[in-house]
Every structure is written in C-alpha cells, then in structure tokens.
Amino acid sequence: MSELAATGLSVRYGSGRRAHMALCDVTVALNRGESLGLAGESGSGKSTLGKALVGLLDPYAGEVSWAGKPLSALPRRGPGSRSRTLQLVFQDPNSSLNQRMTVGATIAEALVVNQIEADVPVEVARLLEVVGLDPRDAGRYPYQFSGGQRQRIALARALAVRPEVMICDEITSSLDVSVQAQILNLLRDIHRETGMGLIVISHNLDVVHYLCRTVCVLRNGEIVEHGQTEQVFTDPRDEYTRELLAAVPRLPS
C-alpha cells in the first residue's frame, strides 16, 4: 500500500459556464522514501496536483489518502497531523515567509505550532546549518537574504516539522543557474539522508531527472506519461514528453 496516493482525482476551478477542470481523473502514488517528479508546461495541472496532495484544494472527484486513510481524517495538530506529515514548499519564498518575523522566529513558530519536542533555539540553529546557513542568521529578516538563501529558509521551516513527504513546487525556477544547482544538491542530500518522500514539481525535466526516480508528465490536467525517469528520458512514449525534453535547458554538470 502506498503512503501518499491520489485516486481518480479531479479538481475544478470556478462554477457554471466559467468552470475549468484543472485535473481530470488523476491517479498517482508515492511510497515511503521515494522521489516523484511532476512535469509539464505552465497550466498543465502539476501545481494544482501538488496543492491537492497536501489538502490545500478540495477534490471535485476522487480522493487523496495517506496510509490508506482519507487525508481529511488526519488530526489537525500533533503527531500524525496533516502539517506534520506533508509539507509544501512554494516557488516564491517572498510570499510564503513573513517579512516581519526573524528567520529564527519563523522556524521556531513551525516547531511550536506543530508541537515538535525539541530545545527550540538549538533546533533552529541545527536546521539553519542543515540548509547551509549560519546559525547567527537567526536574528535577521527574510528581506536581508538573497533569493537562494530565502529558499533555504523556506526549506528549513518545512524540515522543522520532520515531514514524511516534502513537495517542492518550482522552487528553483526564479533562481540563476548556479544557485539552482546549489538548491538541487541540497534537496538531493536531504532526501537521501532523511529518507523523506520527495515530490518535485517542475516544468524543467532536467530538474526532475536529477532528483526523481519516477516521473509523471501532465498536460491539460491529465497524466500523459508515467514511468521510471531514466526510461522516460531515454524512450519517451508520448509526443508531448518528447517536445518537453527537446525544449529544456541542461543544468551544468
């Protein structure tokens, strides 16, 4: 049984004549410790799927489950809660970080709200070190950091709750190439060292190839290809996947 699963999932925006089906009958699963890429162009439905997987969007049809139980059945607080189990890191850390809170306070809030048993100052310092920042940065504010550093702060906050699965939504797309590589290496190392499940949402298949064992390619809210990443890269079955592969820039080796 898969830990995180979406079965027959459909998500609709709006109603009446303006209704738009953003996801159509999508089925996907992630087992403990695995890595999955969700790839496709803007508007393909991959970010919608990511939000639905953590419960930020309600399904129009189908279901999201964790360990065989509906996601909605997870408790709101404490061990086993949705926020303790699943964390979503957004593309733009500027909008997800409170600019009026210090970095240390931001990470400490995640620890306290989610009832993580830890010496808070010590754990804040440890998390900053994990993401490659100086623990002395805890007293600074998000606007005092570069874009890549702010993304590291967002990762530290997500890691604070010790999630079973982290979903990263285009978290390197606004960064320059050298900083992208640093963040991707950090994500790869965290995934390997913690055994946490990882879902990477990206329009860039090269990013998915670097981080993920399996990949789903979405187009117009539907999965058009799903398989082992190496197989999809070397022998794509769908013409849309071939077009994506031909269009993406390559990360520096």
Question: What is the per-residue pLDDT across 135-194, written as a single tens digit (0 to 9) for each?
Answer: 999 999 999 999 899 999 999 999 999 999 999 999 888 788 888 889 999 999 999 999
- Cα–Cα dist 169/207, whole Å: 12
Q: How far lies 121's CA from each of 99, 132, 134, in Å? A: 20, 17, 13
- Cα–Cα dist 249/252, whole Å: 9
Q: How many CB atoms lie within 10 A of CB 63?
A: 13
Condensed to tens digits (0 to 9), the pLDDT of residues 60-86 reads 999 999 999 999 888 877 777 888 899
- Cα–Cα dist 29/211, whole Å: 17
Which is it for strands 61-66 and 4-13: parallel, antiparallel or unpaired? antiparallel
Specify the CATH number for 4-247; select among 3.40.50.300, 3.40.50.1220, 3.20.20.70, 3.30.530.20.
3.40.50.300
Q: What pTM did the predictor assign?
A: 0.92
Beta-ladder partners of 36: 199, 214
| Domain ranges (residues) in the chain | 4-247
